[in-house]
Chains A and B, each alone.
Chain A
């Protein structure tokens, strides 16, 4: 099994990779900005059973470079799975105060992921096989004042995944959208400091890997977020706007 992971230093992605290394002896292509951390992760995955690991030069925004990366990765051998996991939990206040931060958040969380998806989708369409998994978020289910720049970006990814699922319906290509709730990773350090509950990352990774294996179109993890977000999505606006959630 050959797996490409974009944003491989993401806590959830790293724990997913551990499972694929141990259970599938997978071959990996890993991309991340922090190469020092990435090398530590690669060493860890090798001990856990990864068959091979190659580290890709980080390039998240240049469309031509992303296309070239996908072409090159596919040329080296058929790819079974692309996990698009990079993301940045931007601070909402900063997004409001500084437009550059706002733009960066949208570019990292919304624009960049779909460029990677498209770059691989054309190869998968040709081969009629392959899975593209997006790491979305429950935050994408409804805009909320505490994180709507991040949430809207994740919502964009969700709608994009939906469109790709329509495009590949009935084909061998699977599009999976993972929606984790707040998870115990370095990304949520600020929330944890406020005492917010977070799910164990090993559990989220386990459910993510299982969902991807089954090719499920959407995975809420932990599963309790499905009913929670069902309710949140359906609260009438006049009520919702009075709530502080």
Chain B
């Protein structure tokens, strides 16, 4: 048994880790007992954990299976990391349509959480581009599914948190890539109304949109709206990948009441220098945090929570304002609070998180003051008809989950009894 923690580092329970090394022998490994697949461990809470039980590690299931350069169809094993696909395919004119805020996630994890990116309003979530999934169930059965093959199993597996069987292989439809360069623009804004106006204005012409907000600014909100689109063949200054590593876990969180205000003010100042249009490489624009490996250590030994919600557009102005006010009042919050407008697209998975509306994401260092704040935020989200993102969650009450994911009873019929996680026991009872 070895300690394993997820990205939030809130706990490090012991697990029995079983390595999957060959896509054709997975079934035998599943006989060992009940458990959950573990890829890069980038989900923040307990979606990828199974305290005291088995984790099937997919890191070695990282082979590409087939690629058709004419159509952009890529078949690969579930443990392939999105970054490897991007590095290989972008120079060849193809790219993953959807990449979340970090490239260090596996294909299996991206499917199981139906991740979204800054271009949700244009291409939707990851699951929309999956053509085939091969599942191995704990009873040894192999199931191939896709939008046109056993679509009920497919809909349960996309965003299914790994609970419908072990995702072993997937076939993805890549998208023609405009190359690694983006034309990016940073626009400062004041107030939520401004954010909505900028989002609407950017929806048609800009592929990637996201806003950073100063979560300490309270009622007179300020932020930076960042948008980007393919640079159309132009290239910027040669960009060299540089990554640093957070070398140690500080004894206390470096994100705290003292550092929060000055950092946010500084970030806003620095961001304002970037105002205007520039050519940027896709990696620093789409994955700013990937350049600091293990940045999650910043929050100290107790770890941190991320709270990511989405609320329908109609209620978004009020709900977001109330949430930000509650957060500002609490004195807690994060350096990187993110606001984004999702597009109006039908969900691929029964339990998909993205929906039409506004999503807000921020980190909170572990603190005893959090439960009342979270309870208040939960109330706002629920009243607005929104929901929380399980991939980021470590604490939502089961009642909130059940109320905001109405497809749960349908999903339950597709569960593989051999699959269980800390999250599934917390939110679904088994």
Contacts and interface: CB of A to CB of B under 8 A. Distances in A.
A184 B67 CA distance: 27
- Residues of A contacting B: mostly: helix
B21 interface: yes
Contact of A47 (B21, B23, B66): B66
B328 interface: no
Nearest to B67: A47
Contact of B19 (A40, A47, A192): A192
B221 interface: no
Given A43-B64, A44-B63, A22 B17 contact: no
A40 B2 CA distance: 31
Interface string A25-38: 00000000000110
Contact of A43 (B19, B21, B22, B66): B66
Contacts of A186: 19, 21, 60
Nearest to B57: A192
B66 to A, nearest CB: 7
Contacts of B410: none
A46 to B, nearest CB: 9
Interface in A1-25: 11, 22
Contacts of B22: 37, 40
Interface in A170-215: 184-186, 189, 192-193, 195
Interface string B1-36: 010000000000000010101111000000000000
Given A22-B88, A37-B22, A184-B59, A47 B17 contact: no
B218 to A, nearest CB: 43
Interface in B30-88: 59-60, 63-67, 74, 87-88
A88 to B, nearest CB: 16
A193 B64 contact: no
A44 B65 CA distance: 6
A193 B59 contact: no
Contact of A195 (B2, B21, B59, B67): B2
Most B C-beta atoms less than 10 A away, residue of A22, A44, A189, A193:
A44
Contacts of B59: 184
Contacts of A41: 63
A11 B64 CA distance: 15
B120 to A, nearest CB: 28
A201 B275 CA distance: 41
A193 B2 CA distance: 8
Interface residues of A, number: 18
Contact of A40 (B63, B67, B87): B63
A48 interface: yes
Nearest to A36: B24
A192 B63 contact: no
Interface residues of B, number: 17
A44 B17 contact: no
A37 B22 CA distance: 8
Contact of B65 (A11, A43, A193): A43
Contacts of A47: 64, 66-67, 74, 88
Given A186-B60, A193-B17, A195-B2, A48 B65 contact: no
Given A22-B88, A195-B2, A189 B66 contact: no
A60 to B, nearest CB: 21
A192 B2 CA distance: 9
Contacts of A40: 22-23, 63, 65
Contact of B63 (A43, A49, A193): A43
A48 B88 contact: yes
A21 B23 CA distance: 22
A54 B289 CA distance: 41
Contacts of B74: 47
Nearest to B87: A22
B60 A48 contact: no
Contacts of B87: 22
Interface in A214-229: none
Contacts of B23: 40
A36 B24 CA distance: 10
Nearest to A21: B88
Contacts of A44: 63-65
A135 B66 CA distance: 29
Nearest to A187: B21
A195 B21 CA distance: 18
A116 B24 CA distance: 31
Given A22-B88, A48-B88, A195-B2, A189 B63 contact: no
Contacts of A11: 60
A35 to B, nearest CB: 13
A223 B190 CA distance: 51
Contacts of B64: 43-44, 47-48
A74 B2 CA distance: 48
A192 B21 CA distance: 14
A181 B59 CA distance: 19
Contacts of B65: 40, 43-44
B23 to A, nearest CB: 8
Interface string A46-69: 011100000000000000000000
Given A22-B88, A40-B65, A44-B65, 4 more contacts: A40-B23, A40-B63, A47-B67, A192-B17
27 contacts: A11-B60, A22-B87, A22-B88, A36-B24, A37-B22, A40-B22, A43-B63, A43-B64, A43-B65, A43-B66, A44-B64, A44-B65, A47-B66, A47-B67, A47-B74, A47-B88, A48-B64, A48-B88, A49-B88, A186-B19, A186-B21, A186-B60, A189-B19, A189-B21, A192-B17, A193-B17, A195-B2
Interface of B: 2, 17, 19, 21-24, 59-60, 63-67, 74, 87-88
The 10 A-B residue pairs whose C-beta atoms are closest, nearest first, are A44-B63, A47-B64, A186-B21, A47-B67, A44-B64, A195-B2, A189-B19, A40-B63, A48-B88, A43-B65
